Amino acid sequence: MPARRRRGRLVGTLATALVLALAIAGVAVLRPGPVDEWLGGGGPATSGPQVDPTEPPPPPVLTAAGASAPEPTPEGVRAALGPLLTSSVLGNEVNISVVDAVTGKVLYQNGQDTPTIPASTTKLVTAAAVLAARGPAYRISTRVVAGANPGEVVIIGAGDPTLAVNATGWYPGAGRLDRLAAQVKKALGGTAPTKVIIDGSLYSGPVLEPAWDSDIPTGGYGAVITALMTDGARQDPRDQGRGQARHAKPDEAAGRAFAKLLGLPVSAVVTGTAPAATGTAPAATDSPTPGEPSPGTPGPGSELGRVQSPPLIRLVEFMLRESDNVVAEALARQVALAREKPASFVGAAEAVDEMVGELGLPVAESALADGSGLSRANRVTPSLLTDLLTMAAKGDRPELADLFPGLPVAAWSGTLSDRFDRSGEKPTRPGAGVVRAKTGTLSGVHAISGVVTTADGRLLAFAVLANKVPVGQDVAQPELDRIATTLARCGCR
């Protein structure tokens, strides 16, 4: 079979599996994101393989059994997972929770209420908090206002990490500085730009979380966190690999790029704050005094232009799919701003923890220091993660269902694209396409949490958090995959 046709059938099969898995729990899947794209929905296009339209519809790989699918028993799940966990290479601190996503019934627990370093599974909590606080349609606006003197423009960082310089941006559908510059030039009329002032005052506190590993700013997976940046602080958004070099001062890099678009030199970029709005300069009957604004010139603080981020549902998808740490920190700060807290690491962590409580989840089981999971000071319990996923799947809070389109799919997308196995050569093959989960990795810490459909068509929520892991990533990750695959393979009755 030609490669293109094989790929088309694989995509269709996985799409069918995922649609059925989410339908079991009543989750709406007509959302922007991978599932919507595979189904030919109206969401924004995303990168990745497409279904070959010449292919016939693939046969279902699961029966849409809904809530009537056979229900696993705790005894069955224990019998399936017990041998794996007893002989696990993950060490002695493996905490796990498995829950029936339809009923919320606990099927397996081991250290489920133990506060554990969650690594990037923290992003599930961040996603739920920001979706609840802001709503999936919210957009972040980056604005430019007139400065105190004619020709001065102030670009105000609003916390949009996806902002692009031009059409070569990293994030699809991002707001663009070149379009913002065009708006500013038009708004200024005959007044030539003279200076770009960067206002990053929305964020406060340190730009790096104190408990981050020392290589986070330089390792390519994190960056200093500023209110103004482009392309998640990446130096070269055309580099589509993982672990890209980041700007040491993302706000200044964005300011320089904006100045260039306005025809100004780097020396014209300074930091400062926007003046209070005063409207436009009054009409004059005489020639203006040199140095004073011309008649009709936008007065200090007047808006000259704005661009918006993609909707928040897309930002959540960016964060979860590729475990984007910079986007995660920006979203956590959106929770802080929505709750009128400082947009800092401390303020964001407090706000996310508070949202956990407002969602009716056990707030004592979430103690965060950041929104990405890079901090080793974070503590989350496995049961909190499964409670959150179950709530999202059951539809008790409809906006939380919007975290599902962003979850990586086993052997297909995001951080799970090269895990599990779709060739049939490894024991994790049955998990391909039916495990949809967020991963987490720090040195000595490995985690996975998400949803999986059993062989009988039942949707389960699971979380496995392992601390003090004595083996490397190449051994730890397949072990986590085997646990998820075991849930996919068994009816567990």
Question: What angle, 0 to 180 degrees and rounded to 10, lies between the N-to-C axes of helices 122-134 and 382-394?
Answer: 40
Q: What does 298-362 look like in DSSP terms, one character per residue?
A: BPTT-EEEEEEPPPHHHHHHHHHHTT-HHHHHHHHHHHHHHTT--BSHHHHHHHHHHHHHHTTS-
SS3 content of the chain, % helix, strand, coil (to 5): 35, 15, 50
Catalytic residue among 88, 97, 123, 413: 123
Identify the residue whose tokens are 């039916």: 434
> Which residue carries 């595979």 as its tokens?
38
Q: What is the DSSP letter of 423?
A: S
Q: Three-class SS of residue 116?
A: strand
> In residues, how long is the chain?
493
Calculate the alpha carbon distances from 309 to 159, 174, 305, 397, 444 in Å: 10, 5, 14, 24, 36
From the centroid of its chain, how far is CA 106?
28
Angstrom distance (rounded) from CA 478 to CA 486: 12
Residue 323 annotated in active site: yes
Taken in order 188, 193, 199, 200, the sign of the CA dihedral is: positive
Q: Is 341 a catalytic residue?
A: no
Token pair listed for 88: 């696990």
CA distances from 288 to 145, 195, 293, 297 (A): 22, 21, 7, 11
Pairing mode, strands 152-156 and 195-199: parallel
Catalytic residue among 88, 97, 120, 383: 120
Give the neighbor-by-neighbor strand order of the sheet with 106-110.
106-110, 93-100, 459-467, 445-453, 435-442
What is the number of other CB atoms lying within 10 angstroms of the CB of residue 215? Answer: 11
Q: Three-state DSSP class for 255?
A: helix
Q: How far is CA 316 from the centre of its chain?
A: 4
Note the maximum CA span of the chain: 90
Active-site option among 88, 97, 309, 323 = 323
| Beta strand 459-467 pairing with 445-453 | antiparallel
What are phi and psi for residue 93, nearest 5 degrees? Answer: -120, 65
- 379 sits in which H/E element: strand 379-380
Q: What residues are labeled active site?
A: 120, 123, 323
